[in-house]
Amino acid sequence: MMERTPTPPVIRRLDSTHKKFPKQLRRLLRPETGLVTGLERQVARIIRQVRRQGTAALIRLTQRHDRIALTPDQLAFSAAEIDAACRQVPEEDMRAVEAAAERIRAYHTWQMPKMGIDRYQDASGLLLGQRWDPLERVGLYVPGGRASYPSSVLMNAIPAKVAGVAELIMVVPTPDGLLNPLVLAAARVAGVDQIYRVGGAQAIAALAYGDTVIPQVDKIVGPGNIWVATAKRQVFGQVGIDMIAGPSEILIIADRESNPAWLAADLLSQAEHDELAQAILITDSPPLADAVAVCLERLLATPETITRHAICRTALANRGAIIVVRDLAEAYQLASQVAPEHLELSLTDPEAALPFIRHAGAIFLGRYTPEAIGDYVAGPNHVLPTGGTARFSSPLGVYDFIKRSSLLGSSDAARGRAALHQLGPIAARLANREGLTAHQYSIAVRLESPP
């Protein structure tokens, strides 16, 4: 009788006390390999075509990639088309979108800094300060087809409108003419000004450089596939971008009082995004680790509950882990090292852990705050730094749609003159030492003592 090959566990188990643990953790967290050079070249070619040929290239590329033929006046959705899409949305779905939008808008309104001019006068009499202004025009990329995400429309569009962006342009591909009507409904609720049925690298190029139909924007935000991410990277500098987002991530720190079934569900909530998603549990309780692994197996065996079970299995096998640590202090240290997109604190006193967590995109406090509540309706933004970039970047917010101008000087000539006589000699000396004599002269000539 042949021996059966043992079934591999659905998720790997790591122990922080093992001598190979640092190497195992590095391998687990190692980012995916860089973009293929060939893809970079193809995206650059698409951007060049749109930049040189404008709308004609955009229409040609849309027909090639999305298999839909458009004329210039069909690129934008008309108000009647958006009305028709909204009528297709079930009433309960529309109420859910409106409720989520209300909470997202309230949070980002609270987040807004004081707009206009903020100033103070220093000891020299010089007026110093800054002025806050919203961006004038922003482009929002939204993935298309049936598997698109209205929540991403709300999370990207609402903070832009709260910040005072004058014109918000949305692009969304409609492959084979397919579109989720809830996406257009969410755009209307969020206050999007214009929506175009184009996508891919060609849509990013059109937003960055403008054409005869789609106007040039100041900044591009929103998620997309590897073509979209590559195009955003290539047009950065011509326009601003939000971030280059990677696969979704969740890290959960759990104590022994946590419910293993809840933790398993939360790990799967991120693993179902795609095969490259990362789901990690850190606990100081070996029995809890065992119980979560059993719950994962049980849930993945119920396709009526976890419909994307094949994707979940691949993600957990490739990038998932349950890590058993000595104590929660070590868990906090590891969490800061990972700097995850989403961090759940399934702890009796989650706020006590906050001083020890240095890096995370969003932190979910307590056992009754699953990450999924933040994806849709809590209020804070679900557009978060991934791949460890939470070490130096932040969630999307109103700050991404406003800019600052520095203010310095004085409208009062006497005060201005007094300040210049106090500060001018210092600046003139530094300019001289840098060999910038025109700088020095522009100060000295006002001091009535040119060099």
Q: Which residues are catalytic?
A: 341-342
| Distance (Å, whole) CA 383 – CA 362 | 10
Neighbours of 445 (CB within 10 A): 11
> How far is 219 from 232, CA to CA, in rounded Å?
10
Separation of alpha carbons 167 and 218, rounded Å? 10
What letters, b where the CB count within 10 A reaches 16 and e where it falls short, cover 398-418? bbbbbeeeeeeebeeeebbee
d(CA 163, CA 402): 7
Quote the tokens at residue 176. Answer: 């084979």
- Taking CA atoms, 81 is separated from 16, 109, 178, 197, 216, in Å, by 56, 30, 13, 12, 24
- For 24, 166, 292, 343, the CA distances from 250, given in Å and listed in that order, are 18, 35, 15, 6
Q: Which residues contact 259 (CB under 8 A, 6 or more apart)?
A: 367
Q: CB 27: neighbour CB atoms within 10 A?
A: 9
